[in-house]
Structure 1
Amino acid sequence: MVLAVVFSFLAALGFSCGYALIRVGTQRVSAPTATFFTVITGAVLISILALILNLPEVKAVTPTTLGWFAVMGAIAYPVARVFQNSAITMVGATRAAPVSSLQPIFAMTLALLILGERPNLLVFLGTPVIVCGLIIVVVASRNSQAMNQLMTTRKLGYLLAMGAALSFASRDTISRHVLGGIAPPMVTAAFALSIGSVLLFMLTYRDVINSFRNLPTKYVAICCLAGVSQGLAVAFLFQALSRAPVTVVSPINASSPLITLVLAHIFLQRLEHISPMLVVGTLLSVGGVVLVVVGAVS
């Protein structure tokens, strides 16, 4: 269980580094193109590692297992990413983020109903604490104008953000089922990323092809570096899910926005000053993570 907690934190760190790099890369590369380069780079890296480390298991993949991989890839990329990007377009990233932070709650609910997981009291209490802290952190990062516009924004955007959170939670639940005995983590990550990148390209190919001529090499490289970071994060996440329940892994992995915030303040220097509300939200989320970790290893 301790190793699963470590992998969960490594996944959160990998996703956070990727988000920070994407933030830089999308200054000169469109979001769909940046997303494609990020996913395809991660897919290539993890596929190579899977061929090196798990070649017999790769050869032994059955059509049924491939179907599970396809479902995971479709949910995590075309479905969840389309919902997420559409929500950001409609209501803005700062307003969509608090709704997306509900992912651990959805993951816990699905794990209880579908997988029959029974988290202990500390894990059960720590998950909503993390979510509340994340919401406070995001709200504290908004300016007063965004706060005033909060109630006048279209509700569809919030529903799409909720759909994205539910999609990612479903991906984690299915992953736990697959990793429970159908396929090893590295093979699962390789196929899910590869299938996801193909499906994503089918949705964004026009934007990707049209922007190829004017792509700045430096910023494409940054997007690819983000893909390396997030590809490893997916591999770490699946390693964690193969060793621990969704109700433990998902809340810890949900701490990635906090790490992203720290990285942005240190390296990007573009966020607002640290407010008391931001400190409270951060401490609350960290406290929730501590509860989940203690509950997991006890």
Structure 2
Amino acid sequence: MTQSLVGVGFAVLAALAFAAQSLAVRLGTRTRSITEVIAVMFGVNLLVLLPVAGASAYPEYGLTGTAVAAFAVAGLLGSLLARACYFVGIERLGASRAEPLRALVPLFALGAAVLVLDERVTPVLLLGVALLLAGAVVVSLDSRAAPGTESGRQLLVALAFPVAAALFLGIDPIFTKIGFADGTPVLVAVTVRVAAAAAGFGLYLLWRAMREGGVQPIGVNRWLVAASVANTVYLLSYYEALARTPVTVVTPVLSTSTLFVIGGAALFLRKDERVTRRLVAGALLVVLGVVFVVRG
């Protein structure tokens, strides 16, 4: 019971860090591209994780072939594909509207956990997930009426990016749990995850450089650094939560980031985004859903 409560605490911390990252990305993309955001984020992730994990786990890193493969797949899904999709969603929709769509993660995570990990689902848990989804739907409807956003097919494409991020993030914990089954320490697991995702991103940059005939310079601003630090805290807290608590609890609790993002947007992004009553209603549905998920 104590371990589960500690896991929920880490999940809440991860949600706060994720929200801080999202707001910083929104501010950073005023002057920098998504590619630059991701490149700086991987750089900061590895700068922090490699020496800390190397020193803390030496000489036994607890890695097996299965664990490395599992954490690498989780990284490609969650730290590369989901990250790219989500950041594009923030750029096109705004943080306050992209984030609730990313909160669809519990839908995909619940299905994957039941099918692959054979985790238990209760009616209360299902009610919580339903409320989370209802909140996401409300915010999606609000996106259609928001001034300055795209419309028609362009809006559907924009909405698809954070939903795709939710799909990748929903599958990601399954591989993480498989990796933890071999006893890998959290710091080592996160480092393998990020290194695999960074390698995949490096291959993308190499392909782009060959296509465009040169390497494009990477610019940095304070918001990109802030987003990268917040992302590192998020990853560590997220893995600490998964190491202690079932996927069906961790992923819905992470959805409280929706409330934090909307609150942060109302305070810090007034020039970029308009927080409406409908957005607030959607956030409250998410919070209520989390309450039921934790009880379930």
Q: For 1:112 and 1:125, locate their aligned partners in 2 and report how far apart those are by CA, in whole Å.
A: 16
Residue 27 (structure 1) shift: 1.9
Q: Report the equivalent of 2:93.
A: 93
Tell me the SS of whatever aligns to 1:77: helix
Q: Report the equivalent of 2:27.
A: 24
Residue 123 (structure 1) shift: 2.2
Matched, 1:210 2:216: yes
Matched, 1:13 2:36: no
Residue 264 (structure 1) shift: 2.1
Residue 2 (structure 1) shift: 0.7
Q: For 1:165 and 1:26, locate their aligned partners in 2 and report how far apart those are by CA, in whole Å.
A: 21
1:9–1:129: structure 2 CA closer, same or farther, 3 Å change rule?
Answer: same
- Tell me, which stretches of 5 or more residues in structure 2 are unaligned? none
Q: For 2:269 and 2:146, locate their aligned partners in 1 and report how far apart those are by CA, in whole Å.
A: 22
Matched, 1:56 2:59: yes
Q: Tell me the alpha carbon deviations over residues 243-271 of structure 1, each in whole angstroms, 9 at most, x when there is no partner.
A: 11111000111221321121122223235
Residue 279 (structure 1) shift: 2.6
Q: Tell me the alpha carbon deviations over residues 112-159 of structure 1, each in whole angstroms, 9 at most, x when there is no partner.
A: 111000033322211221221133235335535678934x44866666
The answer to whether the 8 Å contact 1:97/1:138 transfers is no
Q: Which amino acid aligns with 1:226?
A: A
Tell me the SS of whatever aligns to 1:211: coil
Q: Report the equivalent of 1:260.
A: 261
Q: Report the equivalent of 1:201.
A: 202
Residue 68 (structure 1) shift: 1.9
Matched, 1:102 2:108: no
Q: For 1:278 and 1:169, locate their aligned partners in 2 and report how far apart those are by CA, in whole Å.
A: 23
Residue 45 (structure 1) shift: 1.2
Tell me the SS of whatever aligns to 1:242: helix
Q: For 1:284 and 1:133, locate their aligned partners in 2 and report how far apart those are by CA, in whole Å.
A: 5
1:23–1:293: structure 2 CA closer, same or farther, 3 Å change rule?
Answer: same
Counterparts of residues 61-80 of structure 1 (less than 5 Å): 61-80=63-82
1:57–1:263: structure 2 CA closer, same or farther, 3 Å change rule?
Answer: farther
Q: For 2:276 and 2:155, locate their aligned partners in 1 and report how far apart those are by CA, in whole Å.
A: 28
Of the candidates 115, 125, 128, which is equivalent to residue 127 of structure 2? 125
1:10–1:71: structure 2 CA closer, same or farther, 3 Å change rule?
Answer: same
Residue 180 (structure 1) shift: 3.3
Counterparts of residues 1-298 of structure 1 (less than 5 Å): 1-58=4-61, 60-84=62-86, 92-93=92-93, 99-140=101-142, 142-144=144-146, 149-150=151-152, 152-153=153-154, 161-205=162-206, 206=208, 209-212=215-218, 215=219, 219=221, 221-295=222-296
The answer to whether the 8 Å contact 1:77/1:200 transfers is no
Give TM-score scaled by structure 1 length. Answer: 0.83
Name the count of aligned residue pairs. 286
Q: For 2:267 and 2:102, locate their aligned partners in 1 and report how far apart those are by CA, in whole Å.
A: 24
| Range with bigger deviation, 247-256 or 93-102 | 93-102
The answer to whether the 8 Å contact 1:133/1:284 transfers is yes
Give TM-score scaled by structure 2 length. Answer: 0.84
Q: Tell me the alpha carbon deviations over residues 55-114 of structure 1, each in whole angstroms, 9 at most, x when there is no partner.
A: 2342x423332222221222223433455567778xx43686665432210100000111
| Range with bigger deviation, 268-277 or 286-295 | 268-277
When the two chains are superposed, the root-mean-square deviation of aligned CA atoms in Å is 2.9
Q: Which amino acid aligns with 1:195?
A: A
Tell me the SS of whatever aligns to 2:151: helix
Q: For 1:257 and 1:135, locate their aligned partners in 2 and report how far apart those are by CA, in whole Å.
A: 13
The answer to whether the 8 Å contact 1:43/1:231 transfers is no
Q: Which amino acid aligns with 2:119?
A: E
Residue 162 (structure 1) shift: 4.1
Q: For 2:142 and 2:280, locate their aligned partners in 1 and report how far apart those are by CA, in whole Å.
A: 9
| Range with bigger deviation, 68-77 or 169-178 | 68-77
